[in-house]
Amino acid sequence: MSVAATARRRKRVNPLQRAERRQAIGFISPALLGLAVFTVLPVGLAIVMSVYDWPIFGEREFIGLGNYAELLSKSPDFWPSLRNSFLFALGYVPLNLVISLGLALMLSARIRGRAIFRVLFFIPVVTPMVANAMVWRLMLQPAGPLNGISEAMFGITLPNFLVDKNWAMISIIVMSVWAGMGYNMLIFTAALEQVPASVIEAAELDGAHGFTMLWRIVLPMISPSVFFASVMTIISALQVFTQPQLLTNGGPGTSTVPLVMFIYNTGFKFHDLGLAAAAAWLLFAIIISLTAVQFRAQSRWVHYEH
Amino acid sequence: MRFTKLAVGVVAAATALTMSACTSGTTSAPSAGGKTTIVWNMWAGDTDAEQKLRDQMAVAQKLVGDDITIELQTAPWADYFTKLNANMASGNVACVTAMNGQRLSGYTDAFVELTDADLAAMGTSRDKYSAGALAPMEVDGKLYNLPYDTASMLLFYNADLFQKAGVDLPTNDWTIDDFQKAAEQITAKTDAKGFAVSVDEFQWLSLPMAKSGLQAVNESGALDLTNPAFVEAASWYGDLASKLKVSDAVPSASDSGWTATQFETGKAAMIVEGTWMVGSLTAADLGFSASAVRLPSGSKGAYGVTLGSGYGIAKTCANKDAALKVLGALTGAEAQAVVAAQSDLPARTDSQQAFYDSLPEANRESMTSAFTSSFEGATGQRVTDKWTQVAEAMPNNLVSVYTGQMTMSDALTDLQSRFGG
């Protein structure tokens, strides 16, 4: 039988399969409907909006790539907000990954009460970010407990964290790491549990201990999880909004306005939906490119053998 | 292949369905039995504020009768305009929508102009309103909203802290120098600060305006933040926190309620706030005796502005006649009497006495004279088309001024260059 004939036979679908496919469409149509209404439509609309001068009300005018040109050359706040998003990501992603991995490693040892610790570190992930941010705002104020303790115990007045140009971004990063580390810790914990004891034993017999064990054996074994965590953490870092909105309102000046807050302000406070949509598309392009680069680079360090 | 086609078909159909739904938004819905529902959109930060609105609505509902149902929708002040923007983007602005005088210039496209004939249809006219009350509701001579209150800024003070420091209480004739001396003495002699600076627009702008006799927007309607006389007055205001230390610095640009909280908790002896705050800032349960006076005057004499908020009718409203009835009822004498009883100064002249009568007896006389002197010769506030942006950007620069990391001159020059063009 020729190859072409085999292919034709494979393509032929029997009535049973056809019926099953119809049923499958029935089953997934609610999900598809949701996808269409909440994803495809807004994304499509955003593309259209980005090439229009689209005020919240009034006449809309097609301006081609005018919004993109304005963002890249004229808008005074676009580049600073892009820089702020990257600054945040540069601080947040490594800190988050290192701390959450550290916690997972510490809690993978058979210590007493480790389940309680895991729950404690995971709590900030499940409490609403708004509540977290409000508590941190109270804590970081000059009249808050942090400065109170420092003044009472050491006689040192701490900086006004949320309005100091050098400390505002650091405060947001620290708060975000605290709020987000529990999630990655859980992923790393699950991965560490999956590392076969036999591999560790064999490595120990070969003389691997401490840092060598971590670097040469454990990390390569859990590298798919590290890869997943780093991809997701970078994406969430570039989408940061709630923390700066509630802690600093983007201040002092524009030093903590990330790109998403720029998009929100441009669209919903300053009424320029077209410009906001264009900025959203640029953010999308940046995130998708970074993610693509990470996927391409994964062959160098992510091991799926086991 | 067929499977994919079907899937794409479902997605496309749903998209088309939603798009058609988007364009058919309506803002007044005739319901069963020929009844019409008119949505009234207004800001309210908590259940108390919402209950006050419901009390006003109950009065208005009686007046409009059973054929029209008024439905109240609220959002907190901080989110109100964002929600309104979203409603506008989707063509779903409530028939009767609240608007604040400072924000109106950016929203005139959303409202119908209210003509004298409209006012007559509502059983009212321009002469029913106190002097200056309609000015914040007008842009380029066109009236877009009917005010429910008229407002000005006052200097609120904590009399207990003044007595503790041995400083004479403020008067309506106070000058900026008197204010500064008192703030310094209270800061030196008590645990509290003499004053609390603010990052909110008129809460902070009022004293620089009073000192310089200038507004942030000049008489020709252009943003004028870098006027040397205004910069000098604003720098003096910033120095109250950064150099004279008679005020703490605002701890975060996102903490807009900070100033009022400082006063209410007895940490600051004086603040500048709007007349609409008189109920909570002079409340008997504060734990100290509080009152208010006219803003201190600068070298050019007293200077204040009239502010206010009101309701307008959305251009997209499907039933303007019913909306006019509701608007007339919500801003009429009966509802204004409720506003007066709720510690807000009504915009209608004939309802204002009820407000003064409702003030606590202990400081009724002093508050009445503070109010009347504040409105004497007050000018209408001026804003530009980009005023919302300016007001949004101000706090972020001001927090740096108060900590001394930025000069007021740099802060104002930055705002002028971003929004002055």
Interface of B with A (CB under 8 A): 2-3, 6-7, 10-15, 18-19, 81-82, 85-86, 88-89, 106, 109-110, 248-255, 388-389, 392, 395-397, 399-400, 402-403, 405-406, 414, 417-418
B387 to chain A: closest CA residue = A270
What average pLDDT does range B246-273 have in this prediction?
Answer: 94
Contacts of A28 in chain B (CB under 8 A): 7
Residue A25: closest CA among B46, B9, B321, B406: B9
Tokens 């998009």, located at residue: A263
pLDDT of residue B26: 42
Domains of chain B, by residue range, sit at 28-151+307-358, 153-303+386-419
Contacts of A252 in chain B (CB under 8 A): 253, 396-397, 399-400, 403, 405-406
Strand B68-75, strand B36-43: pairing: parallel
Is B325's pLDDT higher than 60? yes
Please indicate whether, in this complex, the C-beta atoms of A56 and B89 are within 8 angstroms of each other.
yes
Residues in chain A: 306
Contacts of B252 in chain A (CB under 8 A): 137, 141, 162-163, 247-249, 251
Q: How far is B233 from chain A (nearest CA, A)?
A: 21
Contacts of A60 in chain B (CB under 8 A): none
CATH class of the domain whose range is B28-151+307-358: alpha beta
Protein fold of A76-301: MetI-like fold (1.10.3720)
CA distance B350 to A154: 61
Residue A80: closest CA among A211, A205, A254, A198: A254
Which band of pLDDT confidence, cut at 50, 70 and 90, is reported for residue B42?
very high
Which band of pLDDT confidence, cut at 50, 70 and 90, is reported for residue B20?
very low
Which band of pLDDT confidence, cut at 50, 70 and 90, is reported for residue B22?
very low
Is B23's pLDDT higher than 50? no
CA distances from A270 to A60, B107, B118, B218, B394 (A): 16, 11, 31, 22, 14
Is B17's pLDDT higher than 50? no
CA distance A171 to A255: 12
Among A155-164, B293-302, B308-317, B356-365, the minimum mean pLDDT is found in B356-365
Can you spell out the DSSP letters for B338-394?
HHHHTT--BSBHHHHHHHHHHS-GGGHHHHHHHHHHHHTTPEEP---TTHHHHHHHH
Q: Over pLDDT 90: what percentage of chain B? A: 69
Is B25's pLDDT higher than 70? no
Contacts of B399 in chain A (CB under 8 A): 162-163, 251-252
pLDDT of residue B361: 84
B110 closest CB neighbour out of A57, A143, A163: A57
pLDDT of residue B105: 86
CATH architecture of B153-303+386-419: 3-Layer(aba) Sandwich (3.40)
What average pLDDT does range B7-14 have in this prediction?
Answer: 51
Average pLDDT of chain A? 91
Which DSSP category does A277 fall into? Answer: H
Is A76's pLDDT higher than 90? no
Which band of pLDDT confidence, cut at 50, 70 and 90, is reported for residue B34?
low
Among A49-53, A106-110, A188-192, the minimum mean pLDDT is found in A106-110
CA distance B286 to B360: 14
Which band of pLDDT confidence, cut at 50, 70 and 90, is reported for residue B289?
very high
A249 closest CB neighbour out of B396, B400, B405: B396
Is A251's pLDDT higher than 90? no
Query: Is this prediction's ipTM beyond 0.85?
Result: no
Among A55-59, A182-186, B164-168, the minimum mean pLDDT is found in A55-59
Please indicate whether, in this complex, the C-beta atoms of A163 and B406 are within 8 angstroms of each other.
no
Is B98's pLDDT higher than 50? yes
Strand B138-139, strand A61-62: pairing: unpaired
